[in-house]
């Protein structure tokens, strides 16, 4: 790992035994980047719980630093306490603490309303044991009352004890830098690592961006749509766009990069090779 410019990687828990085997191979390829940590997402309401824990355990067994995402929607204090004990028993030192989204059919939020409540609870229960990452939204969380309210909500997570933040993916570097300036002015002074989404598939990235409120610039959207089924052109264009974004972020001093790998290695490796990080 380059200590001055760490890279971290995010995976999701596979649903099938074949997926587990494939992900193990993907991780081995990506370990060439010597990541600071590898995190595994967690279905809101605990829906992927077992798969998440298995993938995190595999990362720890491979001698790497693992991080479990952890959503509090629908959780109780007792269920969170139980899970924290499990994490500590596994030797886990990092948590990405999130609210999550209410799954359809869910009655209510449970005993935690916001991620800041979860962060405060983890700190109260386990002191400094965990390095806690929280989510940051340079382009504003889609359900926020206002951009200002969202900045305050982020600052509340930092005040509650977050150690670092990873952003939602974005293509507008200016939004990231403004977010960092504005939250620092609110006293939220923790490292904010940009979350980077490689582009490998046009409809996938456009749908995903719409769902999570990430803006895909018009020129990028139009170009992607113009390639139709030509996946080679989509990948080549996507590599150029995302590498240029990473280059700008790095030149302007971001504390590292967090890649949403989508359980694939090739594109992340190529971006890092172009950045001179592989």
How far apart are CB 161 and ligand FAD at their closest, in Å? Answer: 13
Give which of 162, 160, 132, 158 is closest to 69, Cα–Cα.
132
> Tokens in use for 9?
């990687």
Q: For residue 32, what is the DSSP state?
A: G
Give which of 76, 63, 80 is closest to 27, Cα–Cα.
63
Rule CB under 6 A: is residue 144 a binding residue for ligand FAD?
yes
Among 30, 53, 135, 202, which residue sits at the site for ligand FAD (rule: CB under 6 A)? 135
HSE-CB of 164 using CA atoms within 13 angstroms:
20
Residues in the interface with ligand FAD (CB under 6 A) total 26
Q: Which residues contact 272 (CB under 8 A, 6 or more apart)?
A: 7, 33, 278
Annotated catalytic residue: which of 10, 82, 111, 139?
Answer: 10
How far apart are CB 165 and ligand FAD at their closest, in Å? Answer: 8
How far apart are CB 120 and ligand FAD at their closest, in Å? Answer: 11
Alpha-carbon span 91 to 97, nearest angstrom: 17
Parallel/antiparallel/unpaired status of strands 192-193 and 164-167: parallel
- Annotate each residue in 237-266 with x if it binds ligand FAD (CB under 6 A) or - if it does not, as one string: ------------------------------
Under rule CB under 6 A, which residues in 95-134 are in contact with ligand FAD? 96, 98-101, 114-116
Distances (CA, A) of 54 to 17, 51, 57, 221, 256: 12, 5, 5, 37, 27
Q: For residue 104, what is the DSSP state?
A: T
CB nearer ligand FAD, residue 48 or residue 234: 48
CB-based contact 156:196 (threshold 8 Å): no
Rule CB under 6 A: is residue 168 a binding residue for ligand FAD?
yes
CB nearer ligand FAD, residue 118 or residue 234: 118
- Mark whether 10 is an active-site residue: yes
- Annotate each residue in 185-224 with x if it binds ligand FAD (CB under 6 A) or - if it does not, as one string: ----------x-----------------------------
Under rule CB under 6 A, which residues in 1-40 are in contact with ligand FAD? none
- Site stretch for ligand FAD (CB under 6 A), options 28-36, 150-158, 201-209, 264-272: 150-158
Helix (H, G, I), strand (E, B) or coil at 20: helix
CB-based contact 268:195 (threshold 8 Å): no
Rule CB under 6 A: is residue 69 a binding residue for ligand FAD?
yes
Among 8, 41, 183, 261, which residue sits at the site for ligand FAD (rule: CB under 6 A)? 41
Give which of 97, 172, 114, 115 is closest to 138, Cα–Cα.
172
Rule CB under 6 A: is residue 153 a binding residue for ligand FAD?
yes
CB nearer ligand FAD, residue 26 or residue 158: 158
How far apart are CB 268 and ligand FAD at their closest, in Å? Answer: 16
What is the chain's Cα-based Rg?
A: 18
CB-based contact 142:101 (threshold 8 Å): no
* Catalytic annotation, residues: 10
Positions that interact with ligand FAD (CB under 6 A):
41-44, 69, 71, 96, 98-101, 114-116, 135, 141, 143-144, 149-150, 153, 156-157, 166, 168, 195
């Amino acid at each position: 790992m380059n200590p001055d410019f760490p890279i971290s990687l995010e995976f999701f828990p596979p649903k099938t035994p074949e997926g587990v085997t494939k992900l193990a191979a993907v991780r081995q390829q990506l370990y060439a980047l010597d990541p600071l940590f590898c995190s595994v997402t967690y279905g809101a309401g605990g829906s992927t719980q077992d798969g998440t824990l298995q993938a995190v355990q595999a990362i720890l067994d491979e001698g790497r630093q693992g991080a479990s995402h952890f959503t509090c929607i629908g959780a109780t204090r007792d269920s969170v306490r139980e899970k924290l004990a499990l994490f500590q028993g596994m030797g886990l030192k990092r948590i990405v603490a999130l609210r999550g989204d209410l799954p359809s059919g869910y009655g209510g939020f449970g005993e935690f309303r916001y991620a800041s409540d979860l962060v405060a609870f983890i700190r109260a229960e386990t002191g400094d044991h965990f390095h806690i990452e929280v989510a940051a939204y340079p382009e504003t969380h889609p359900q926020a009352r206002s951009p200002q309210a969202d900045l305050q909500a982020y600052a509340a997570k930092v005040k509650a004890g977050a150690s670092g933040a990873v952003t939602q993916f974005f293509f507008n570097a200016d939004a990231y830098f403004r977010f960092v300036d504005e939250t620092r002015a609110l006293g939220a002074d923790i490292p904010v690592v940009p979350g980077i989404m490689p582009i490998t598939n046009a409809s996938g990235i456009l749908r995903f961006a719409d769902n999570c409120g990430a803006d895909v610039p018009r020129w990028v959207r139009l170009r992607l749509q113009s390639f139709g089924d030509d996946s080679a052109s989509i990948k080549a264009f996507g590599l150029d766009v995302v590498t240029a974004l990473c280059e700008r972020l790095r030149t302007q001093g971001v504390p590292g990069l967090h890649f949403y790998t989508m359980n694939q290695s090739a594109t992340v490796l190529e971006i890092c090779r172009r950045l001179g990080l592989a």
